[in-house]
Amino acid sequence: MAADLHGNPRAAGEPLLRVDNLVKHFPLKQGVVFKRQIGAIKAVDGVSFDLHRGETLGLVGESGCGKSTVAKTLLRLEEPTSGHAYYKGDDIFALSSSQLRHMRRQIQIVFQDPYSSLNPRMTVGDIITEAWEIHSGVVPKKERSERARDLLRRVGLSADDVNRYPHQFSGGQRQRIGIARGLTLNPDIIICDEPVSALDVSVQAQVMNLLEEIQDEFGIAYIFIAHDLSVVRHISDRVAVMYLGRIVEIGDEAEIYDNATHPYTQALLSAVPIPDPTARGTGGRILLEGDVPSPANPPSGCRFRTRCWKAQDVCAEEDPALLDRFGHGHPSACHFAEP
């Protein structure tokens, strides 16, 4: 089945979330008294994708590519510069404050750092029930204590942990508390912003398995943000690869990992450690030269051209569109894309 421009072969069904040409620029200003804008950091610069119920979209790329800014903008923790994001057909960026409050019940987030994302002055029970104080109609007050205990049991902790404080838990246990908090309002979507990057490898697997179990049970859709492609493959149905504020390749997990066409994706995959080297094919490690350009002054044309071994004159002159160039079901933004 052919993919649409958002890289989703299931385009015939109405998506739960559709992001259309999302842009977020942070102004650069100069001066003390009379400040004037001298430029902008182009953190997100034209990102589009969709997300269906019960699906996991992996959003991957190097640090600073704009992954977390996409998440913050979708939740309107940052206001967009331009673009649209539709949740069940409603433009998130056009919602009133009361409508936004209702929408945030349906889109929750699990943060990267389990140490700083939990209030150290609050008990675990208070952390979990806090959302019900704000959205009082979700769970009756007399049922909240037992519901909090149920959520703790669901994420693999003890019901008696409601009276303990965050500092009394390990990193993996704290992240489980963060996941329990994310489930309190029965959301349709959870944005997982590098939820396992601060954890040991053995604990990472446990948390990933928990997220998959929760998805199977509740039908939640995930946007799973990470820089580790091996982690993303474990959980994702589709993968979007970001570079310098833009998606350069997007498609089904199998197509991205087994049939990547963009040089940047190929370079990232070559760095993934695999016990059996023959599983990668005949190619070896691809070492990228130079540093990632500044998002305040990205290269003309293709943004990856300054580090790409395939770069030619056309790459500096024309910005490659995100197109399905080979009929493999996933678009790629490269003039010289090849499997």
Task: Read off the pLDDT of residues 102-145 as tens digits, 9 standing for 90 and up.
Answer: 999 999 999 988 889 999 999 999 999 999 999 988 999 999 99
Average pLDDT, integer, range 35-63: 94
Lowest mean pLDDT among 46-55, 67-76, 196-205, 307-316: 196-205
Q: What would the DSSP string read from start to end of 149-188?
A: HHHHHHTT--GGGGGS-GGGS-HHHHHHHHHHHHHTT--S
Residue bearing tokens 């331009």: 82
Task: Classify residue 328: in a domain, yes or no.
Answer: no
Which residues, listed in sequence order, are joined to residue 107 by a DSSP beta bridge? 189
Q: How far is 82 from 258, CA to CA, in rounded Å?
A: 34
Answer for the pair 224, 235: CB distance below 8 angstroms, yes or no: yes
CATH of the domain at 121: 3.40.50.300
- The domain total for the chain is 1
pLDDT in the model for residue 229: 86
What gap in Å lies between CA 215 and CA 68, rounded to an integer?
Answer: 21
Q: Is residue 322 part of a domain?
A: no
**pLDDT at residue 328, as a whole number:** 72
Q: pLDDT at residue 1 above 50?
A: no
* Burial of 178: CB neighbours in 10 Å, binned 0-12, 13-18, 19+: buried
The answer to whether residue 323 is domain-embedded is no
Output the pLDDT for position 13: 73
Alpha-carbon span 194 to 276, nearest angstrom? 27
- Which amino acid is present at 168? Q
Domain assignment of residue 259, yes or no: yes
pLDDT at 202: 85
Residue appearing with tokens 């003390």: 32
pLDDT band at 291 (very low <50, low <70, confident <90, very high): confident
What digits encode the pLDDT tens for the residues 54-81?
Answer: 999 999 999 889 999 999 999 999 999 9
pLDDT grade for 338, boundaries at 50, 70 and 90:
confident
Tokens of 4: 């649409």
324 occurs within a structural domain? no
Residue 284: phi, psi to the nearest 5?
-100, -165
More confident residue, 252 or 12: 252
Note down the domain range covering 109.
Answer: 17-30+38-317
pLDDT in tens, 249-285: 999 999 999 999 999 999 999 887 766 655 555 557 8
Rounded to the nearest integer, the mean pLDDT of the chain is 90
Per-residue pLDDT, 6: 56
* pLDDT of residue 146 exceeding 80: yes
Counting residues of the chain whose pLDDT is more than 70, the rounded percentage is: 94
* Whether the Cβ atoms of residue 58 and residue 236 lie closer than 8 Å to each other: yes
Question: What pLDDT, on the 0 to 100 scale, is given for residue 66?
Answer: 94
Model confidence at 182: pLDDT above 90 = yes
Structure-token match 């992954």, residue found? 67
For range 219-233, the mean pLDDT: 92
Is 339 domain-assigned?
A: no
pLDDT at site 280: 52
* Structure confidence at residue 277 (pLDDT): 58
User: Between 211 and 281, where is the model more confident?
Assistant: 211
Q: Residue 165: inside a domain, yes or no?
A: yes
pLDDT of residue 50: 96
Residue 11 clears pLDDT 80, i.e. is over it: no
Asked whether residue 112 is assigned to any structural domain, the reply reads yes
Reported confidence tier of residue 3, pLDDT bands at 50, 70, 90? very low
**Residue 225, pLDDT above cutoff 80:** yes
- 316-329: average pLDDT: 88
